[in-house]
């Protein structure tokens, strides 16, 4: 029995040793990862027949206290329960609470690393003055909402509980399906100085003229989203995951100093009360103008800067079917506008900026707004709102319905007063306006859950932004979208999959913006082609306009409308950190033997003659040989070599081909060149092969092979390539369109990689005695 056990054990070990490796199926379907289709969301990616979403309508009155940098407001909210669920409480977002000294966002701040904190190797990774100022100022700033009252429509107090950036209101009676509930909230808060404390809103102080510019957002308690996939989206706001909101109608009255100009979500309801007759005339002209018309000139704005009005004005705005509301206010604002009307779009594009923004803003901001709407309409739907606004202030780039905050400005030389702007500032302004205005489409209308999935708004928007920038001018200096720009990130180790929650992303910009945009460009240009991609992408926008899609809805719609199984693509690009790295490992050439001795022996002779000449024969060249001295010693074999065609060869050829059909004879004679090419997938991410083939005549052409070539063997494959003449070179991904992270193994024959060696002058040893005796520089008396 013991001997049998040993034998069985040996058999088991032997079987284990020779068992096949587990097959990594890169093309397995995504059903294991995606939620099951249901009556709310179909397997095709479209909204289901029972799809629902909540709604919240707001009536708000607010007052800006410029002197004290504070805001107070009172709002009435009507919440519509369109869900099939009975609700016992409501959740609201209190995003200003991120500025409380003990907020989760502030308490969870960490240093990037001990090395970056104390031993920074460059200005880029070191702690900045601004960074330390922000840390210290945040400890003292009395930020966050002060909730004064929460009441029913009848004035009865409602019980509420604040949990960091969320507030729960307990309902007196359950809110049943189909019912609505109206309540009011009174609040106030101190406005943060954005340049000090950062954030997506705040004020900027201009010491030169002692004025402020206010960009106001996340400024009122907003209803949290409740939807079929997630329930209440009340994940705390920590700073990265943005805002998940419900659509509704807004009626907002904003009281500001009488000399302020207000830019806002929505349409102005009382222009006669807040605008001069001249301003109204200019606005009317702008409606049909082909270029921006200045509504408030720079001279008028500079005049307003010189004094502060004692009274106030109330600006009244209304907005229909928006998911948020933001505004900006300052006496410094220059204001220009231009109408754009085409198909279903009829919009006033408008820009508001201080004099510090010129000449850059007057030239490019409104032009970029119009361009954005023109281009985004092509890839999604007609812009449906009446206004689109770009505001220059302290916030570098942030979006809200119909209004965005954008940062780049020229620079003023402190000595000469000359105003110039860099190339980076110019294209930075154009790019950020395109990006932030483009956010009206994603996610302000295609209303994805930003708190959960940043890439669904930032990535999709960055992709369309890249298309719009390409349409601005040739060689636009874009930094995101083209797959070649994501290579360094794709080869880095410090990354997580795109499908990672917003607050847990590493390398936020690369993960949420650049990689999804590059992936979609690969999908459009390399996998599907523009026609299939653009149709499916527009279908996604059409299906989910004014609705809330999830990643599964996007993935499924793109497959459904393009008629293409893309599960391999979503899995690799969105669910892993695998990279594209295809290596050409080897090439073997085969020619089909014609069996004809005249051809085959000539081919063999050519191969022989192409071999290197023996070093012995090279050195013996010119030697006098015996047969040269006595020619009579030569015979038949001196006249014929091994490649001579004999009659026996010809007879054999005739016998071999006698029974062949004509198509078989033609196949032998066609003279095709066959190449077996070995490819390795070193990066793990399967990809189409884009092969540039160069022939002996100099002809070059591209052969495209679908990614499914890897379906049976995702690590190594051998591909047959057929040519009409000899192949002299083969390059995989010659246009750098697949984000291959190692181009050095993409060519056969291998190409030399050029680089540069930098030489540095040796530093002299530190001389403390010399430094001690160095004369102390005197202050320039003229500057005192």
Q: How far apart are CA 406 and CA 393, in angstroms?
A: 7
Q: How far apart are CA 94 and CA 82, in angstroms?
A: 23
Q: How far apart are CA 130 and CA 325, in angstroms?
A: 29
Radius of gyration of the chain from Cα atoms? 36
Neighbours of 764 (CB within 10 A): 7
Residues 6+ apart with CB under 8 A from 663: none
Record the pTM.
0.91
Compute CA distances 14 → 4, 18, 19, 381, whole Å.
15, 6, 9, 63
Which class for 63: exposed (0-12), middle (13-18), buried (19 or more C-beta within 10 A)?
middle
Bridge partners of 247, per DSSP, are 55
pLDDT tens column, 301-346 = 999 999 999 999 999 999 999 999 999 999 999 999 999 999 999 9
Taking a C-beta distance cutoff of 8 angstroms, is the pair 643, 602 a contact?
yes
First to last CA, the chain: 104
Which bin fits 670, alpha (ψ -120 to 50), beta or left (φ > 0)? alpha
Q: In the prediction, which pLDDT does 784 show?
A: 52
Instruction: Give the SS3 label for residue 413.
Output: coil
| 384 backbone dihedrals φ, ψ, rounded to 5° | -95, -10
Strand pairing class (226-227; 231-232): antiparallel
| 321 backbone dihedrals φ, ψ, rounded to 5° | 55, 50
Taking a C-beta distance cutoff of 8 angstroms, is the pair 116, 184 a contact?
no
Q: In the prediction, which pLDDT does 132 show?
A: 81
Compute CA distances 523 → 455, 582, 759, whole Å.
16, 17, 43
Q: Which residue has the tokens 């705390």?
A: 236
Taking a C-beta distance cutoff of 8 angstroms, is the pair 687, 707 a contact?
yes
Taking a C-beta distance cutoff of 8 angstroms, is the pair 714, 686 a contact?
yes
Q: How far apart are CA 680 and CA 740, in angstroms?
A: 13
Instruction: Give the SS3 label for residue 687.
Output: coil
**Of 185, 188, 186, residue with least CA distance to 169:** 185
pLDDT tens column, 448-507 = 999 999 999 999 999 999 999 999 999 999 889 999 999 999 999 889 999 999 988 999
**Of 83, 61, 79, 324, residue with least CA distance to 182:** 79
Taking a C-beta distance cutoff of 8 angstroms, is the pair 62, 208 a contact?
no
Q: In the prediction, which pLDDT does 479 show?
A: 81
**Of 108, 105, 107, 89, residue with least CA distance to 97:** 105
Which class for 306: exposed (0-12), middle (13-18), buried (19 or more C-beta within 10 A)?
exposed
DSSP 513: I
Spell out a b/e string for 709-748, using b for 16 or more CB atoms within 10 Å of the CB, else e: ebeeebeebeeebebeeebeebbbbbeebbbbbebebbbb
Neighbours of 213 (CB within 10 A): 25
Taking a C-beta distance cutoff of 8 angstroms, is the pair 584, 576 a contact?
no
Instruction: Give the SS3 label for residue 82.
Output: coil
Residues 6+ apart with CB under 8 A from 376: 383, 438, 440, 441, 464, 468
Residues 6+ apart with CB under 8 A from 558: 45, 523, 533, 536, 537, 540, 566
Q: How far apart are CA 560 and CA 543, in angstroms?
A: 12
Residues 6+ apart with CB under 8 A from 784: none
**Of 348, 396, 252, 322, residue with least CA distance to 56:** 322
- Sign of the Cα torsion 440, 442, 444, 445 reads positive
Which class for 577: exposed (0-12), middle (13-18), buried (19 or more C-beta within 10 A)?
buried
Query: In the chain, which stretches have pLDDT less than 70?
Result: 1-21, 116, 124-125, 780-784
């Amino acid at each position: 029995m013991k001997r049998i056990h040993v034998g069985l054990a040996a058999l088991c070990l032997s079987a284990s040793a020779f068992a096949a490796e587990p097959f990594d199926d890169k093309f397995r379907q995504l059903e294991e990862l995606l939620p099951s289709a249901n009556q709310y969301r179909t397997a095709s990616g479209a909204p289901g027949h029972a799809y629902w979403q909540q709604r919240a309508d707001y009536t708000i009155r607010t007052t800006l206290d410029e002197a004290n940098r504070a805001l107070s407001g009172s709002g009435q909210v009507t919440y519509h329960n369109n869900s099939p669920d009975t609700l016992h409480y409501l959740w609201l977002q209190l995003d200003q609470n991120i500025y409380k000294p003990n907020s989760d966002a502030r308490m969870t701040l960490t240093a990037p690393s001990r090395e970056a904190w104390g031993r920074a190797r460059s200005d880029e990774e070191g702690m900045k003055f601004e960074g330390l100022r922000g840390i210290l100022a945040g400890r003292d700033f009395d930020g966050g909402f002060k909730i004064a009252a929460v009441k029913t429509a009848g004035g009865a107090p409602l019980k509420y509980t604040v949990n960091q950036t969320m507030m729960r209101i307990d309902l007196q009676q359950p809110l049943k399906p189909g019912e609505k509930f109206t309540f009011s909230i009174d609040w106030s808060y101190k406005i943060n100085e954005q340049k000090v404390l950062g954030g997506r809103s705040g004020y900027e102080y201009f010491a030169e003229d002692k004025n402020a510019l206010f960009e106001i957002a996340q400024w009122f308690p907003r209803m949290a989203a409740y939807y079929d996939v997630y329930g209440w989206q009340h994940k705390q706001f920590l700073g990265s995951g943005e805002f998940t909101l419900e659509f509704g109608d807004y009626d907002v009255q904003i009281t500001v100093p009488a000399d302020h100009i207000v830019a806002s979500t929505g349409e102005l309801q009382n222009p006669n009360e807040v605008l001069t007759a001249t301003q109204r005339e200019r606005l009317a002209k702008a409606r049909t103008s082909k270029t921006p018309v200045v509504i408030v000139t720079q001279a008028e704005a500079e005049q307003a800067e010189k004094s502060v009005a004692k009274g106030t004005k109330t600006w009244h705005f209304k907005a229909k079917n928006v998911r948020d509301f933001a505004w900006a206010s300052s006496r410094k604002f220059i204001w220009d506008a231009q109408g754009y009307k085409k198909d279903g779009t009829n919009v006033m594009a408008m820009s508001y900026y201080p004099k510090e923004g010129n000449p850059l803003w007057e030239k490019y901001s409104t032009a970029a707004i119009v361009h954005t709407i023109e281009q985004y309409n092509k890839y999604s739907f007609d812009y449906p709102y009446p206004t689109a606004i770009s505001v220059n202030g302290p916030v570098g780039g942030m979006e809200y319905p119909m209004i965005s905050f954008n940062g780049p400005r020229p620079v003023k030389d402190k000595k000469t007063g000359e105003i110039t702007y860099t190339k980076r500032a110019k294209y930075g302004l154009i790019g950020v306006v395109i990006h932030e205005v483009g956010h009206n489409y994603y996610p302000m209308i295609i209303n994805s859950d930003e708190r959960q999935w940043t890439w669904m708004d930032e990535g999709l928007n960055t992709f369309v932004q890249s298309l719009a920038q390409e349409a601005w001018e040739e060689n636009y200096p874009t930094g995101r979208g083209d797959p070649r720009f994501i290579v360094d990130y794709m080869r880095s180790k410090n990354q997580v999959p795109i499908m990672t929650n917003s607050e847990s992303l590493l390398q936020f910009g690369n993960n949420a913006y650049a990689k999804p945009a590059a992936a979609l460009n690969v999908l459009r240009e390399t996998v599907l082609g523009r026609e299939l991609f653009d149709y499916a992408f527009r279908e996604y926008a059409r299906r989910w306009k004014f609705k809330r899609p999830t990643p599964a809805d996007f993935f499924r719609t793109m497959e459904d409308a393009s008629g293409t199984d893309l599960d391999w693509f979503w899995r690799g690009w969105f669910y892993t950190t695998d990279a594209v790295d295809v290596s050409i490992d080897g090439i073997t050439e085969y020619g089909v033997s014609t069996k004809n001795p005249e051809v085959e022996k000539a081919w063999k002779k050519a191969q022989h003659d192409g071999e290197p000449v023996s070093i012995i024969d090279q050195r013996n060249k010119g030697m006098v040989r015996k047969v040269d001295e006595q020619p009579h010693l030569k015979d038949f074999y001196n006249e014929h070599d091994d490649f001579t065609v004999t009659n026996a060869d010809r007879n054999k050829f005739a016998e071999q081909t006698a029974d062949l059909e004509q198509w078989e004879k033609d196949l032998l004679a066609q003279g095709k060149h066959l190449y077996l090419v070995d490819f390795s997938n070193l990066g793990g991410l399967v990809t189409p092969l884009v092969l540039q083939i160069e022939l002996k005549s100099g002809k070059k052409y591209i052969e495209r092979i679908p990614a499914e070539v890897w379906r049976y063997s995702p690590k190594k494959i051998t591909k047959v390539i057929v040519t009409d003449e000899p192949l002299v070179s083969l390059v995989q991904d010659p246009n750098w369109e697949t984000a291959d992270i190692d181009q050095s193994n993409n060519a056969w024959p291998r190409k030399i990689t050029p680089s540069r060696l930098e030489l540095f002058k040796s530093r002299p040893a530190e001389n403390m005695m010399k430094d001690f005796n160095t004369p102390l520089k005197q202050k320039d008396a003229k500057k005192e």
